[in-house]
Amino acid sequence: MLTPVQWWLVTAPMDLRGGMDRLLVHVRTVLGRDPFDGSAYVFRNRSGSRLKVLHADAQGIWLCARRLHEGHFIGAAPGSETCTLSPEQFAWLCAGVDWRRLSQVPPRAVRI
């Protein structure tokens, strides 16, 4: 089972033709993080039609892929290399829903 301690969405699009070794190197060298820290790293391609999730645990390395046949996955706003996701936000992202809008706190109702 995938049970990461933290979900990280990588904001820059990646060439997902490579495998887990290429993604592990990217996490270590570009992001400056330890890929074996128990976190899951979510990568998306330029068109946003594919995701890959990389997670290393005590038993080995998980590499999961998801592809949408229509539409695209919603990425994070540019500005930093990664952003954190809650498990619920990750579920919305995988469903192809705009997880950023669903994660916002709704505006307070005005009393009259």
The pLDDT value recorded for residue 107 is: 53
Residues facing residue 87 across a β-bridge = none
Name the residue ranges covered by the structural domains of the chain.
6-102
12 CB-near residues (< 8 Å, 6+ apart): 78, 81
Between CA 47 and CA 101 the distance in angstroms is 20
Residues facing residue 62 across a β-bridge = 55
pTM: 0.82
Q: What is the pLDDT of residues 34-81, one digit of tens each?
A: 999 999 999 999 988 999 999 998 788 999 999 988 888 887 777 778
